[in-house]
Amino acid sequence: MDKNIKEIELNSFEEFEQIVKEQICQNKFEQVTNIISKPTDVLFRGHADSTWKLESTLVRDSDIKVYSEEKYHNEIASLVKKIYEYTGKEWCVPQYINKPYIEDGHRNIFDHPLAYDFIVYLRHFGFPSPLLDWTENPYIAAYFAYSDNVNANKVAIYIYKQSNDNSMVSEDKSTVIHLGKHLNTHARHSLQQAQYTVCKSTQVDKDCDEFKQNFFYDSYEDYNWNSNDLDDGNIRNQCIKYILPASQKDDILKTLESKYITKLLLMQNEDFKTKSEEELIKGLKDEFLKKF
């Protein structure tokens, strides 16, 4: 159970569809009428088991709730040469330079991760990632919820409405940051209409020889979702978990197939090249997790 996320149990997928229509219409109305000062996105994420928590694969696979952004960056930078030798793909991964806050050019907690497109690429092939992937399409979220369901009696679909003003969040607290969708990465990103969030905080880095503040990828577990709207017309990050019966699985997957939402379309994993990449990155994942 997600302890800081509101849960609503529904009787059918049709109920969920109606809620989605209302959420999207409300969001568009707020933007058109300037009820909110900046536009937001409504995003969706499906879980095949309603008991699964909202968490990144970095936390799930390593069981480490807090991980240095700098350390993670250096880990993935070490993979670039291996991936190039195997696939011929070149990725630009700049050096991570963490300057003190008093210096010009220091990194901000709201900055995109360096080599963001490379991190997304690795994420789509299963490498442990601080990114949590969402989709703009509720039916794609439904596909991942129902198609991966095996034994659970209930699935879950999250609806996330992003914050539209980063300035309201202090850098000494854990915060969920919505990242952009326009990047040059694997085709799955576009096919799944994906967007991403990352949970970060600023803490003292215990691995450093001297006192040093660093950015850390955090667990979503303690993040305070669904705070009240702000008086200035801005909203905080909001997330609601809808729990649905898994008994509708076969009918829903047939409906989604009629909308051309299938594994073949979303994953593009039937060709030899893609399967080879999956095997490569699975091996890199195993090597990475041996360190924990």
Dist CA 78 CA 96 (whole Å): 12
| CA-wise closest residue to 79 among 55, 115, 49, 51 | 115
pLDDT surpasses 50 at 65? yes
Stronger pLDDT, 29 or 254, i.e. the higher one: 254
Q: What is the pLDDT of residue 238?
A: 82
Residue 79 has a pLDDT of: 95
Q: Is the pLDDT of residue 96 over 50?
A: yes
Q: Are strands 67-68 and 213-217 parallel, antiparallel or unpaired?
A: antiparallel
Q: What is the pLDDT of residue 235?
A: 54
> Bigger pLDDT: 110 or 85?
85
Max mean pLDDT range (80-84, 165-169, 171-175, 222-226): 80-84
DSSP label of 209? S
Give the CA angle between residues 175, 178, 181 to the nearest 5°.
160
Across residues 244-260, what is the average pLDDT? Answer: 95
For residues 191-201, give the mean pLDDT: 90
Cβ burial, residue 275 (10 Å; 0-12/13-18/19+): exposed
Q: What digits encode the pLDDT tens for the residues 97-149?
A: 665 444 455 677 788 888 999 999 999 899 999 999 999 999 999 999 999 88
pLDDT at 95: 81
- Short-list 23, 18, 263, 1, CA closest to 136: 23
CB 292 within 8 A of CB 63: yes
pLDDT, residue 188, reads 83
Q: Which residue has the higher pLDDT, 277 or 2?
A: 277
Number of H helices, E strands in the chain: 10, 9
Sign of CA dihedral 29, 47, 61, 279: negative
Q: Tens of pLDDT along 202-247?
A: 876 666 555 466 889 999 887 877 655 444 444 567 899 999 999 9
What separation in angstroms does the CA of 58 have from each of 34, 64, 69, 127, 217? 38, 7, 12, 8, 9
Give mean pLDDT, residues 24-49: 70
Q: What is the reported pLDDT for 47?
A: 97
Cα distance between residue 226 and residue 236, in whole Å: 7
pLDDT at 223: 83
pLDDT of residue 74 exceeding 80: yes
Name beta bridge partners: 231. Answer: none
Average pLDDT over the chain, rounded to an integer:
83
- On whether the CB atoms of residues 72 and 130 are closer than 8 A, the answer is yes
Percentages of the chain per state (helix, strand, coil), in multiples of 5: 35, 20, 45
DSSP secondary structure of 116-148: HHHHHHHHHTT---S-EEEES-HHHHHHHHHHT
Confidence of residue 33 (pLDDT cuts 50, 70, 90): low
Torsions phi, psi for 101 (to 5 deg): -60, -25
pLDDT of residue 164: 61
> What does the block give as tokens for 138?
């509720």
Q: Where are the domains of the chain?
A: 6-285
Which pLDDT does position 101 carry in this prediction?
47
